[in-house]
């Protein structure tokens, strides 16, 4: 765990790991991974809230649990390992962009579910601009909101400005429809809005924090996939010897380890830069995301190939990690796009 350098951070990682142990098991698979229509794991969500994990990165004076981006990344990596049915990354992304006290209390104590509508965010490439403000209300349609059936409040970009959208106000029309999701660990919903109250948020530059937490989560997913592939390569025998003894497999997995370790170091640097208000923090965050997303995409693909045919079956979770990494790629953009984002900040 690269980010857990203090005893408190190591304890935080262990706490998150224990809470997520049931969600992370592989035999049998967690029911939510193959349950049609499964949504938010409210028991786990309440457990996270009760331990203060939903308020990480938010000052205690604002109702949060304190800590910085490093602490957020410690938990995000463990969430990436387990892939539970909770919107940790979507929730902390929303909190990172809330420039006022709106919805913070309910979001931190777990009584409300505040979700970032990522598809509207201006720093993601495939963004939608389908929402339109009409005075103090908003109209439009969101195509793929993570945990959209469970959301109480959305943080979305409307005509270039981040807004708080209250889905439970009782005013206006909110129509939600579950949509098919390639990533089985993160349910999606389309949400149609008509005359729903909206409130402009105070400016908050949370883009770098959001991108760094995404990167940490992807490192966790890649680590889980790689660990599984290494264990399988030690156990699976062919021609009278473990397949991990063959150079093709051995070097493949070693390359992935090196790539993943480099990505983790970049995430650690980005988190440290953000916590220290270093001027290079925006570029560091985008560099970390570029490295982590590429490492996750490559590692999950080759981990599945190492497992052979069993990796494609519901009896094994290898395909779940691949699907999660690919879904994140769709959101975060191609490797070329991510490197362009780095260049824009380095040469600005």
| CATH number of this structure's domain 7-111 | 1.10.540.10
User: Coil, helix or strand for 142?
Assistant: strand
Q: What is the 3-state secondary structure (H, E, C) of 152-191?
A: CEEEEEECCEEEEEECCCCCCEEEEEEECCCCCCCCEEEE
Which DSSP state fits 147? T
Residues 6+ apart with CB under 8 A from 263: 215, 218, 219, 222, 288, 291, 292, 294, 295, 296
Residue carrying structure tokens 């939608």:
128
CATH superfamily for domain 115-200: Butyryl-CoA Dehydrogenase, subunit A, domain 2 (2.40.110.10)
Residue 45 tokens, joined: 């969500």
User: Coil, helix or strand for 96?
Assistant: helix
> Where does CATH 1.10.540.10 sit in the chain?
7-111
Length of the chain as a residue count: 348
Residues 6+ apart with CB under 8 A from 131: 120, 138, 139, 140, 142, 156, 157, 158, 159, 193
> Which pLDDT score, from 0 to 100, does residue 3 have?
65
Class assignment of domain 207-346? mainly alpha
Distance CA 129, CA 1 (A): 38
Residue 76 tokens, joined: 């995000």
Distance CA 16, CA 78 (A): 7
Q: How far is CA 195 from the centre of its chain?
A: 30
Distance CA 235, CA 242 (A): 6
> Where does CATH 1.20.140.10 sit in the chain?
207-346
Strand duo 114-116 + 153-158: pairing? parallel
Which DSSP state fits 28? S
Residue 245 tokens, joined: 């003894």
Residues 6+ apart with CB under 8 A from 116: 90, 91, 93, 94, 97, 146, 154, 155, 156, 210
Per-residue model confidence as pLDDT tens for the chain (348 residues): 456 678 888 999 999 999 998 776 655 466 655 554 568 888 899 999 999 999 898 888 777 788 899 999 999 999 999 999 899 999 988 887 775 555 677 778 888 899 999 999 988 887 888 899 999 999 999 999 999 999 999 999 999 889 999 999 889 999 999 998 888 889 999 999 999 999 888 766 688 999 999 999 999 999 999 999 999 999 998 999 999 899 999 999 999 999 999 999 999 999 999 999 999 999 999 999 999 999 999 999 999 999 998 888 888 889 999 999 999 999 998 888 888 988 988 887
> Where does CATH 2.40.110.10 sit in the chain?
115-200
In the beta sheet, which residues pair with residue 242? 237
**Quick check: 329 and 293 in contact, CB under 8 A?**
yes
């Amino acid at each position: 765990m690269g980010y857990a350098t203090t005893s408190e951070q190591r304890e935080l990682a262990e706490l998150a790991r224990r809470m997520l142990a049931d969600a992370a098991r592989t035999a049998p698979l967690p029911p939510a991974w193959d349950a049609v229509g499964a949504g938010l794991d409210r028991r786990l969500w309440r457990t996270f809230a009760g331990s203060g994990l939903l308020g990480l990165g938010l000052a205690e004076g604002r109702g949060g649990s304190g800590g910085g981006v490093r602490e957020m990344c410690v938990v995000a990596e463990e969430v990436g390992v387990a892939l539970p049915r909770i919107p940790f990354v979507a929730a902390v992304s929303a909190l990172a962009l809330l420039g006022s006290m709106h919805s913070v209390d309910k979001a931190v104590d777990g009584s409300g579910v505040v979700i970032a509508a990522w598809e509207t965010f201006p720093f993601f490439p495939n963004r939608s601009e389908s929402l339109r403000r009409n005075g103090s209300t908003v109209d439009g349609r969101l195509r793929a909101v993570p945990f959209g059936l469970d959301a109480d409040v959305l943080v979305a970009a409307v005509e270039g400005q981040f807004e708080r959208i209250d889905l439970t106000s009782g005013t206006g029309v909110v129509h939600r429809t579950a949509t098919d999701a390639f990533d089985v660990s993160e349910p999606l919903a389309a949400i149609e809005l008509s005359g729903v109250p909206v409130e402009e948020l105070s400016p908050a530059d949370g883009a770098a924090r959001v991108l760094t937490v995404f990167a940490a989560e992807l490192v966790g997913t890649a680590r889980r996939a790689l660990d599984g592939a290494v264990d399988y390569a030690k156990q699976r025998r062919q021609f009278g010897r473990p397949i991990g003894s063959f150079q093709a497999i051995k070097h493949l997995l070693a390359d992935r380890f090196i790539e993943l370790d480099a990505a983790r170091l970049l995430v650690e640097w980005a988190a440290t830069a953000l916590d220290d208000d270093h001027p290079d923090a925006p570029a560091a965050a985008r560099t970390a995301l570029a490295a982590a997303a590429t490492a996750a995409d490559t590692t999950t693909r080759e981990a599945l190939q190492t497992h052979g045919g069993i990796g494609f079956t519901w009896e094994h979770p290898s395909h779940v990690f691949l699907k999660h990494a690919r879904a994140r790629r769709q959101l975060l953009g191609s490797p070329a796009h991510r490197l362009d984002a780095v260049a824009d900040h380095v040469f600005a």
